[in-house]
Structure 1
Amino acid sequence: VDLDQDGITDIYVGEKLKMTDWHWFDWYNRPGVVYSEGSSGCCAGDPGKDQAQNKEEIQYKVMSGDTTNLTDAEKGRYFHANPSLDQLDPNFNPHFDNVEDLKLTEFFQEDPDGLDCVMEMTCGPFDLAVQDSVPFSFCIIYGQNIEDLLANAEFAQVMYNAKYQGFTSPTIPTVESEVGDEYVKLYWDQAADSSQDVVTGYYDFEGYKIYKSIDEGVSWGDDGDKIFDNTGIQVGWRPLIQFDLSYEDDYYHCVKNPQIGKCDEIALSSGQSDTFRGMDVSGNDPLAPWFEVGSNTGMPNEISSDVCGMYFDSAMNDSLSRCGEDCTKDFNLDGTNECYYYYVDTNVLNGIEYTYSVVSYDTGLPDSTQVSANPDSWARPNGYQYIESSRGSTPLDSNFETVIPGAQNTGNDCNSVRVIPNPYFGRSTLNETIYNRRISFMDLPEKYTLSIYTVSGELVWSQDETHQDAGDGIAFWDLRSVNNQEVSPGLYIYTLDAESGSGSARTTECSHIGKFAIVR
């Protein structure tokens, strides 16, 4: 292909075509118009408006740089010569319009609103058989200056080679939970610890954050937990707690292997040895100072009395496992136990629904001129801010967990039952939305029948432990009657029968009668 028509082949067979044509034209003169339009007389192809019959022919000629069989007016609309040449000069290059000509065009002076410019960038020709299809990609790239533009173009090519992926966060943790009397215990796997960024190839894991919500993840705290950037836009939430690698683990963490210590003993495919980060990752992210990347806390198990997780032996310059038999779980249900981290939240109330999300995050990408943690000089010279994995939004997400703490009534003690809240005021602030209103019954026995009546003895609602809304020692009532009608305010009576056995042999062990009020 001869792109500039100088008689010399620019692209040979087998080479990438890249961009073969670039043209601009006024939208009011687009292919398909019958005459030059204006803001008061458009638009061709609209109901009742004529459209040029050669619309597709002209469109293809613009794409391919073909000026044959076009009128002088059509050539002037879609093909623009060098400013030193007349626009109708037959010697101008029909494949590439001139930027200077675009700047000097009379359209900028004639229309007070400026030129409504259409730009077409095309690539071809390609040989395709009938019914063949070919995927194609294009990227619009901007830059503050030519150096920034070239750097962005280079990174766009990197993203394309990485299957359209940019810098990636570490693996999303898989979370499980355990609840009890006024506590929630979260477990999560350690897969994120050995995550590799798909673009840089670096093992840049740094830590975990735990978020807590009382509205099913709609928000992750109150107004004081919101994080704003330097323009006043909310960009995140403050976590309930955060764990990151200790100073030693940060400093001696290998760059291209998920190992801490003895990096120089690892041979890379390039024939060179791996290197360690040699840096302290803590404090605020220099590129997004409203976020904190950690304070060298160490992983959660390292600062607990448990013997799970990892610890760093500075004498051996090595990281040693402390994952014993009591510190493993089968997260993937494949019969293999993996080491886990855990965190216990005791700032909870029985009967209240809490939502947790455990996310992983990386170190970000430091300035390539400062530390050995960026040996391939990625993101030169200013680096990239840290990346955090998604918090998730539904229980289908592996790191999104909704739980209700409470004590399990292991015996048949009917007198332990509690109603929360009591009284119920209009719209309780406990886990409620306009779509979800409920009262909780706590400390129920293993088998039971729970019924609610009006003060006149009319049955309002009833369920047993097999109901879909029943949990371990917990039952929920959505404030609707057996007829699916919203109940009125007033005093209500409930009865609880603790039972044993099953089927026709099921018997009542004890009973309890209580009351609660609904106030609108």
Structure 2
Amino acid sequence: MRNLMDRSIKGVALAAVAVASTYGVSWAEDEYNPYGTPGGKYGGPHPLFATSEPFIFYHNVGLLELFVCNVGRVGNGQLNGLSDQVSAGWRGGEYLYIGAMWIGAIASDNLAYVSTGGYEFELLPELNPIDTMYTAYEGITNGNRPGFSTQPDDDNDGVTDEEFLNGIDDDGDTLIDEDYAAVSQQMYSCQYYDYTELAKSLNPEHRPLNVRVQQRSYAWSTSGSNEFVGFDFDIINDGFETLRQVYLGFFVDSDAGPKDAEGYWTDDAVALYSTDSLITDPTIGTTCEDRVSHEQVNCGEAEYNLDIMYMWDVPDDGNTATGGDVDGYFGGMFLGHTTDAFGVRAPAEVEMHTARFFSGSNPYPAGDPTNDAERYDLLQSGERSRRPSQQPGDYRYTFAAGPFAEVLPGERLQLQVAFVIGAGKDGMIRNAINAQRIYNGAWKDVDQNLATGVDGAETCLHALAPGEPQFWRDPCDSNNVTQRTIKEVECIPENYVDADCNCCTPITDGNETLVHWVGSVAPPPPGTNLDPNDWDFDDPNGDPNAPSGIGVYAPDGDHKVIIQWDNLSELTADVASRSILFTGYKVWRVEGWNRPVGAVGPAPTDWQLIADLSYDPRDGEGEESESYLPKFADANFDSAACQESGDCELVVTGATGADSLKQYRPVGYYTYVDSAGLKNGMYYFYDVTSYSIVPLDSLNTTELEGLPAAVEAQAVIPKWGAVEGGSLDGVFVVPNPYITGGEANGGNPAGWDLVPSDKDPTGTRIAFAGLPDRECKIKIFTLSGDLVRTINHDGRSGTAFWDLISRNGQDVVSGVYLYAIEAGNEHKIGRFVIIK
């Protein structure tokens, strides 16, 4: 069976690949601008990378909206064309400039080097359209996870998750991305390197460590999981030298405040939060006997060692703190990294070795490190800021893990990071605990061997190499110290030990494997007709290539919006219960959006629910309900014809029983038409989310649902329909007169004018409506006859917009303007007024 239709995955990554292919031609043939276009040295490394339109990726299914890319950083600081968009947005505020990965090591020449994702661009993908961002979600075909799926080996080759989601055949079997682990409701995956020719040419002093970074990032929409974004990094030594005393860290320039406030980044504060917290999970009632004290241990209690470097906006006082206030606390934390129970090759526990902040332009160490020697010195210093900052300012901070004694050629280190936010310090800590809990995951029987993972033995010891035994001293009983010699290089049941001195890990005998990143996941969102990257509507009234019985329509109708989607949400099993828990769909709308400064799209609070469609409607009327989901399915759908055409396919869902194999039905299978009070020419946003109602116990249930999200490019603008027959008699201009100042002052209607942006410098427009259903040319003149602008209209709708910019790139002034429309042999002349 083939994968799901490309468009069913909302097309984000695959659309990027398609566009990247066109860039691939241009950069091969044309002179290359190494810093992007336009801009100076810090304008962006290359327009092909995921750092500029249309290669923009945000984690936006949760409440934290975070920019991610494939150049070794999070956040969009330094990148051209993105200065008016948020890096890390939460509840209308901005919290980040950049968070850059730093990789430091001593190379074979005994000198220290650091490869950095910021401020320099030293971690870059290849100039190859394949090296882009890829998207997935938990439950997607080929993304089954060990411990949660009946078939974690997706391709049945005897190896599980041997692929990394990167568009490459990693295991040499001629298949691409056929067996990997998909995590969370929104997953992005990419890889980049410190040794590309571009990285070296951009940074003449850069000495590569020859490492490759595989990056995965995860976001959830469910409550309690939606205010952090998790990252999983593999750092691989692709070179021929052994890297020694390796440190992994992040350099974070975190700016907190309202994006539209001048100098909002100058009144921040920073601190390190470090504590050991005892967290109780009331859903776990299991106890076990401690093998030293012989006391009963409550397995619902767990100790979390939390280190968080965080910043916040100091409340304005009119003196040292100005620029508006936001109430979020935003920080970075390590959830995990490579450890060594012996404490020789790596730290024995996950911790921040270095956690230090600085500000100002003073030389290092009072200010930022500016070369590899200073960066490495900072990473390895072991300094931890014990007190918070004393004065509001513009701060940066670094947190690092290590040392990792050596990384041989071909070996890898692992690092897990979360960027977390919350209301106040307590809210941030609460969400950090949730992030750690989700990363910690659950113990599962992956090897199908009940002799492993018994009596709290969670760690399997093995020798480094044949003839190089390891010696392990039991850390749990200081009164009766035992030592074991480990000679086997492979994991065997006899070499499982209790290294964490916790009889609760694992709780259940036989569950030897700790599977990380386990969170509650709502059904994935369906594919829709709402994303312009997914569809090219040559015919606005349908897709001529649609499978039998289904038509796909452009969403922007005349005083209406047509929302269509597929049944993808109904094909994914819950990983824990291995059953399909889908309940229904929710249709959402945003109106009156005016593009607030920094916004990439509507905020979570902007969305209004306009429909809740399910097999069991909430009004209790069952099949008679107006919200009964089958009423919105295409009545002419032909399952057999769709299957034969290849646009439908059978999908292995991951469920057991009758739901294990179900038919995918493409976009257009469901249709909802919204016409309630819609005005042509106005900006609207729509999204379709799915939800499931799952049992908590015999009496209680909870609802898992996705959050609606959209970016500005997905706005839907209802348009006046094209006039059949080509007549120009009904053409008119809206608004006429055009008056700035807002509706309350007699100006344009609310929602017509947007806040200007880099891509839309006026933020406004007028509409020529009632145009014919054929090509025509609109020319705009001053009263004195000077040509202002020419607009070519393709006839697919009856509406053409003008952004009030002249053909010379200037903003037009107040006055009376003439327009002349030519459509074949027909002509029309009219006038309109602009008052500013």
Question: TM-score when scaled to structure 2?
Answer: 0.32
- Name the larger-Rg structure: 1
Question: TM-score when scaled to structure 1?
Answer: 0.49
